[in-house]
Amino acid sequence: MFGFLSSRQLLFVTNRRRTQLGLLQKNAFFIIQSFTSVGCLSESEFENEPERNHFTVSYLVKSCGLSSKSALLASNKVHFQNPDRPDSVLSLLKENGFDNTQITKIIRSRPTLLLADPENTLLPKIQFFRSIGVSGSDLPRILTISPDLLRRSLTNHLIPCYDFLKSVLLENEKVITTMKRSQRAFLCDVTNVMAPNVALLRELGAPQSAISLLVTHSPSMAFITHAKFVKAVQEVKELGFDPSKALFVQAIQAVLKLKKPMWESKFEIFRRWGWSEADTLLAFKKHPICMLLSEEKITKAMEFLVSKLGFSSKSIAKNPVVLNLSLEKRIIPRCSVVQILLAKDLVKNDLSLATFLLPTEKYFLEKFVIRFQDNVPQLLSVYQNKMELLDVEIQSEKALGKVIPTRHGLSGEQLPLQQKQWRIGHELLPTEKRFLEKFVIRFQDDVPQLLSVYQNKMDLSDVQFQSEEVGETELL
C-alpha cells in the first residue's frame, strides 16, 4: 500500500494548515470577493424557499458563482447558516490552483463538498495526487471533471487504486496518463472489476506491453464487467487471434466498443469499396483498430488512395493501418514526394503503400527527401506543403498529372484498370515514353483517336464507340 503520509507527517500537515486557515478565515471576505457574482436572487425566487435556505442560496450565488437556478437546486443538497467551513473550502481550492470557473463547476456538481473538512478530508487527497506526480495544472482540471475523487476515502480507496494500477502498469507515468484519460480508474472498485480482467489476460499469456496499452489508452475497456470481458475474449480467440500478441488485446478493445449494428455497418462501408467479408476480416486481423475508424475517415482515405492514386482497394486491406494515418499530415505529403520521385525515375516503380507511408518520419526524410535533394531541390518544400506539386519542374516526364483516373469512366462505372493490383509508380506515374508505349500506341488500332485525346487535340466525348461494351473492355 502507498504510504506517503505517516501519522507524524499527517499531524504536521494538519497543524500547519490549521494555522494558515486561521489567518485566511480572518481575511475570507477579501478572498471570496474575487468571485464575480452572476446575479442576485429576486424576491419572487425566495417566496417559496424555506427561510433556512436563504443564506445557503445567497452564498452559493455570491461566493461560488452559481446561477440563481443552480443555487436553488444545490440548496436541496446542502444547508448551512455559517460561512466559516465553506469559506475554508473555497480558500483551500484557490490556494491549490483552482480558478473561479473550476470552483463554480465543482460546487455546482457536488455542493456538499462545501461542508467537507478542508484540513483532514480534502487537503490529504490533494497532497496525495501531487505526491504521485499529477502536475499543478492537471490536478484542478482532473478534479473539476471528477470531483467525486475528493469524496473517495484516501486510505480505503485512492491509495489501493494507485497501488494496483502501479502493479499493472509498472511505471508511475503510465498511472498518471491513465488517470488523465479516464478518472474512472480511480473511482471504480479495481479489486472486483479490473483485477479479474487483467488476471484473465495474464492467464492467457498476453504480454505486459499489451496489457499496459489497454489500461493506459482504453481504461474504460479494462473496467468493463468481467462477464462481458470474458465474452469478448472468447470471440477474439474464435477469430484466430493469438493471445501472446499485442493484436489480441487490440481486438478485444474493438469487439467491446462495437455493438453488433455498428460492426455490421463497418463491413458494409468496406463492402462498398470492393472488400469481401474475407478482406474485411483480414484487415481486422492485421489492424483491429481499423474497425473503430469513423466512416468519414475511411471514406476520405479510400477516395484519395483508390480513386485518385489508383491503388487497388484490396491492397489496402493488406495494409489497413494506412487508414489510420492522417490524410493531411502524412498520406498526402508523402504521396506528393513519391509522385515526383517516380516521375523522375529516381525510385523503383513498384513501391507499395507500406514502403513509404508506414516508416518513421526520420526514415522517410532520409530515404525519400534528403537523399534526392540534389536531384529535386524543391522536394522538401513540397513535403512541407510549401510548394504545389505542379510547380515542380518535371523535365521529360510529362505524364505527371495527365493520367486518366482509374475509377469512374464515362458511365461512372469502375474502369478495367482496377482489375489489377495497381501501384502508384507502375501505372499512374510512368515516364512519358513508358506511358505512351503502354497506354496509347498499344491500343491505337482499337481506339485511333487515343493519341489526340492524350494530346488534348480531341475531346473525350468526340471519340466514337462502336458498342456499349467498349467502355468495359477497351477504354483506358
State pLDDT tens for residues 372-406.
999 998 898 888 875 555 455 554 343 344 333 33
pLDDT digits (tens, 9 = 90+) for 19-75: 444 444 434 433 444 443 334 445 455 455 555 578 989 989 999 999 989 998 988
Query: Which of the two residues, 16 and 349, has the higher pLDDT score?
Result: 349
Nearest to 85 by CA among 111, 124, 46: 111
User: How many CB atoms within 10 Å of residue 105?
Assistant: 17
CB 194 within 8 A of CB 222: yes
Residue 456: which pLDDT band, with cuts at 50, 70 and 90?
low
Enter the C-alpha cell of residue 94: 484557490
pTM: 0.62
Q: With a cut of 60, say whether residue 433 has pLDDT above it.
A: yes
- What is the separation, in whole angstroms, between the first and last Cα of the chain? 71
**Own/partner long-range contacts of 240-247 (Cβ < 8 Å, ≥24 apart):** 240/285, 241/285, 243/201, 243/204, 243/205, 243/206, 244/205, 244/206, 244/207, 245/207, 245/210, 246/207, 246/209, 246/210, 246/213, 247/285, 247/286, 247/287, 247/288
- Is residue 143 within 8 A of residue 106, CB to CB? The reply is yes
Domain spans of the chain?
A: 1-151, 153-257, 430-473
Average pLDDT, the chain: 77
The percentage of the chain sitting over the pLDDT mark of 70, rounded to a whole number, equals 74
Other CB atoms closer than 10 Å to residue 363's CB: what's the count?
Answer: 11
Closest Cα partner for 211 from 164, 258, 146?
A: 164
Mean pLDDT, range 166-195, rounded to an integer: 85
Whole-angstrom distance, CA of residue 105 vs CA of residue 108:
5
Which residues, in sequence order, are CB contacts of 42 under 8 Å at separation 6+?
68
pLDDT of residue 220: 82
CB 125 within 8 A of CB 158: yes
The rounded percent of the chain whose pLDDT value lies above 90 is 43
pLDDT above 80 (res 411): no
